[in-house]
C-alpha cells in the first residue's frame, strides 16, 4: 500500500506498529462508537471497524473520493471477566473496583482490529480479534489503592497496564503479549499478508 493510516490516539499502538517496521501516519478516529453486542469478541470487532471507518470517511472527505493505495487500521481493546466487559475506568473508585475483582484471578483481554484497504476505488475490509488470558497474583487493597493513585490505570481497559507497575502482579499470560498492550502486531502482519495487503511498502 502507498500510505498506511493508524486510526488511533494510543501511544502504545503507535509504538507496536513502528516496532514491526510499518511506516504510517496517525489520524485518530473522531466519532461516537456504538455497540450492538454483548459478546466480547463481537464488541471489539465492531468498535475497531467503527474507528477505522470514521478515519476512512474523513480521508474520503479530504480527497473527494477513496484515496488510492491507502489502508486504515483501527483497533479496540477490552477486558472480559466472568461475562462482564471492562473498558477504561470512569474514575478512581471504578478502577479500584475492577482491580479488586481481577486480583488473584484469570481474565481475558480481547483486541479487535479492522483494516480498510483501498481496492478499485472502494474500501475492502478485513476484521479479526485476538484473545489473551492474563493471570494475576493476589493484591491487597493497599497495593491496589497505591497503583490507582499513580494514575496509570485511567486510560487503560481493565484499569491496568501489563507494561507498567502493575506488571508486579502478572503471574503469567496465555497468548500474545502485544495483544494485551493494545495491538496484536504479529497477527496483523499475518492476516494482511494472507489477504494480499502489503503494509510494508
Ligand X SMILES: Cc1cn([C@H]2C[C@H](O)[C@@H](COP(=O)(O)OP(=O)(O)OP(=O)(O)O)O2)c(=O)[nH]c1=O
Contacting positions for ligand X (CB under 6 A): 8-10, 12-13, 28, 51, 75-77, 79, 88, 109, 155-158, 160-163, 180-182
Minimum distance, C-beta of residue 6 to ligand X, in the bound complex (Å): 8
**Whole-angstrom distance, CA of residue 96 vs CA of residue 81:** 15
Minimum distance, C-beta of residue 57 to ligand X, in the bound complex (Å): 16
**Residue 161 or 184 with smaller CB distance to ligand X:** 161
Minimum distance, C-beta of residue 22 to ligand X, in the bound complex (Å): 15
DSSP letter at 152 equals G
**Residue 85 or 162 with smaller CB distance to ligand X:** 162
**Whole-angstrom distance, CA of residue 145 vs CA of residue 140:** 9
Minimum distance, C-beta of residue 2 to ligand X, in the bound complex (Å): 22
- Kindly provide the b/e burial profile for residues 133-166, where b requires at least 16 CB atoms within 10 angstroms of the residue's own CB: ebebeebeeeebeebbeeebbeebbbbbbbbeeb
Active-site positions read 76
**Residue 3 or 88 with smaller CB distance to ligand X:** 88
H or E element in which residue 44 lies = helix 40-63
**Residue 59 or 75 with smaller CB distance to ligand X:** 75
- Distance linking the first and last C-alpha atoms of the chain: 6
Amino acid at each position: 500500500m502507498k500510505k498506511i493510516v493508524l486510526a488511533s490516539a494510543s501511544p502504545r499502538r503507535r509504538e507496536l506498529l513502528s516496532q514491526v517496521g510499518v511506516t504510517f501516519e496517525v489520524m485518530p478516529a473522531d466519532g461516537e462508537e456504538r455497540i450492538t453486542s454483548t459478546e466480547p469478541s463481537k464488541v471489539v470487532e465492531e468498535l475497531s471497524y467503527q474507528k477505522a471507518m470514521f478515519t476512512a470517511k474523513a480521508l474520503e472527505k479530504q480527497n473527494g473520493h477513496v484515496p488510492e493505495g491507502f489502508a486504515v487500521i483501527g483497533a479496540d481493546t477490552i477486558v472480559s471477566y466472568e461475562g462482564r466487559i471492562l473498558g477504561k475506568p470512569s474514575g478512581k473508585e471504578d478502577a479500584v473496583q475492577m482491580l479488586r475483582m481481577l486480583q488473584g484471578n484469570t481474565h481475558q483481554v480481547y483486541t479487535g482490529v479492522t483494516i480498510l484497504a483501498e481496492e478499485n476505488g472502494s474500501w475492502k475490509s478485513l476484521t479479526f480479534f485476538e484473545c489473551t488470558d492474563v493471570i494475576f497474583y493476589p493484591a491487597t487493597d493497599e497495593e491496589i489503592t497505591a497503583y490507582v493513585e499513580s494514575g496509570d490505570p485511567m486510560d487503560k481497559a481493565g484499569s491496568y497496564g501489563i507494561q507498567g507497575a502493575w506488571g508486579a502482579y502478572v503471574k503469567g499470560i496465555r497468548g500474545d503479549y502485544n495483544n494485551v498492550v493494545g495491538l496484536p502486531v504479529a497477527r496483523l502482519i499475518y492476516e494482511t499478508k494472507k489477504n494480499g495487503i502489503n503494509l510494508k511498502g
